[in-house]
Amino acid sequence: MSLSLPRGAKPFVDFPGLMRAHGFAVAPEQTVGFIEAIGLLGPRAIDDIYRAARAMLGPQPERLPEFDALFRTFFLGQTLEAPAFSDDDDDQDLRVQDDGDSLIDTPEAEEPNESGQQAATGEVLNVRRFAAVDEATVLRRFRRAAPARLPQRRAYRRIASRRGNAWSLRRSLKEAVQRDGEVLRLPKLRRKLAQRRILLLIDVSGSMKGQTDGYLRFAHSLARAAERLEIFTLGTRLTRVTRAMKRRNREQALAIASGLVADWDGGTRIGDALGAFLAVPRFAGFARGALVVMLSDGLERGEHDAMIDAVERLARLAWRIEWLTPLATDAGFAPQTAALQAILPVIDHLGDGSSIERLAARLLKVASGKTR
């Protein structure tokens, strides 16, 4: 028994078929999602249909002109270039990507920020090519020093120690059995020291364009030295790149990260990104008791209240928050943005993140307890 489609739904089923006929990979589930998105959006205008198609049918970035031409031909009967579709960034949700898994929808792209000097509100999807900058000496020294100097915490597990603060009843009984009831000494226990988790958050927006490459190389070195580390990038999206950064070969790690992170040099939505991070229970668990290192200039172009609220919630979970900005190149640096000024009482330190040397020195200083 065949079921006939409603007349109004037929164009939305035929368009994915047209895409497949032109070599686009469109799964049946994407067609269903496209129709559901149309139902959620209304649609009130052709722009709504376009957004739904872009989001649910997932055309490759390099084939967007071909996709746009197919869309205009099918829905508008046009073969000439039409005006670009506009979008209101404030009404959009942030996309969360967990090492390749997309969780939340994404906003539309705007023009790239070529200058790298100003924070932008729109999303720009790019693939990053990393320059062959050699900081081998600094990173090699950091990797050697970090394992012994990264911050530690007392674990719940106890181990034998002559200077322990608790008695080991089990060991005492074992020795008594071996010595016919005699106990020559009382074994002691102390809580084992374990490396404290580090949560590294890297701002990849347009205003951080000059520092992003170095930050990712530093993240790879930290991943090689740390036992417990989580790494996220944030701009107009939130992307987990932990697995990529744990690759032994640095070039492979950066290449994989380049493919995972789609919002290089785009807008700055720190509050939304942190809010999305905290909204995923598994991600929020990474911050519990952790040293949180934020590498960002703090030039938030989203809602300041969202950023302030997210940082306050993050501070309640974290052991310590280090906010390192490339703008703090001198001791007298004072933040100029309202959002960064508002979170100063919440974070533990606002310092210089203008170079890999400064990042490495600060992290080792925090780990050794010299935090002032």
Q: 185 and 231 share a domain?
A: no
What is the chain's percent helix, strand, coil content, to nearest 5? 45, 15, 40
Q: Mean pLDDT check: name the lowest of 30-39, 100-109, 323-332.
A: 100-109
Q: 334 and 313 share a domain?
A: yes
Is pLDDT of 230 > 60? yes
Q: What is the mean pLDDT of residues 177-185?
A: 70
Give the per-residue pLDDT at 74: 84
Q: Sort strands 152-160 and 188-195 into parallel, antiparallel or unpaired.
A: antiparallel
Number of domains composing the chain? 3
Quickly tell me which residue has 């020195």 as its tokens: 361
Give the per-residue pLDDT at 50: 87
Residues of the domain holding 174? 155-194
Radius of gyration, alpha carbons of the chain: 26
Which carries the bigger pLDDT value, residue 40 or residue 217? 217
Segment of 32-46, 169-183, 270-284 carrying the highest mean pLDDT: 270-284
SS3 157: strand
> Could you tell me which residues are beta bridge partners of residue 199?
230, 292
Give the per-residue pLDDT at 212: 92
> Could you tell me which residues are beta bridge partners of residue 320?
291
Q: Cα dist. 253→92, 244, 280, 348 in Å?
A: 31, 5, 25, 31
Is pLDDT of 352 > 50? yes
Is pLDDT of 181 > 80? no
Share of the chain above pLDDT 90, in %: 31
CA distance 20 to 26: 6
User: Do the Cβ atoms of 205 and 265 come closer than 8 Å?
Assistant: yes
Which residue in 212, 210, 194 sits closest to 202, CA to CA?
A: 212
Give the per-residue pLDDT at 5: 61
Q: 170 and 302 share a domain?
A: no
Q: 225 and 325 share a domain?
A: yes
> Could you tell me which residues are beta bridge partners of residue 232?
201, 240
Amino acid identity, residue 277? Answer: F
Give the per-residue pLDDT at 177: 72
Q: 189 and 53 share a domain?
A: no
What band does 324 get if pLDDT is binned at 50, 70 and 90? very high
Q: Mean pLDDT check: name the lowest of 31-35, 114-118, 251-255, 310-314.
A: 114-118
Q: 304 and 357 share a domain?
A: yes
Q: What is the mean pLDDT of residues 110-123?
A: 49
Q: 271 and 258 share a domain?
A: yes
Would residue 124 count as lying in a domain? no
Give the per-residue pLDDT at 92: 46
Q: 181 and 236 share a domain?
A: no
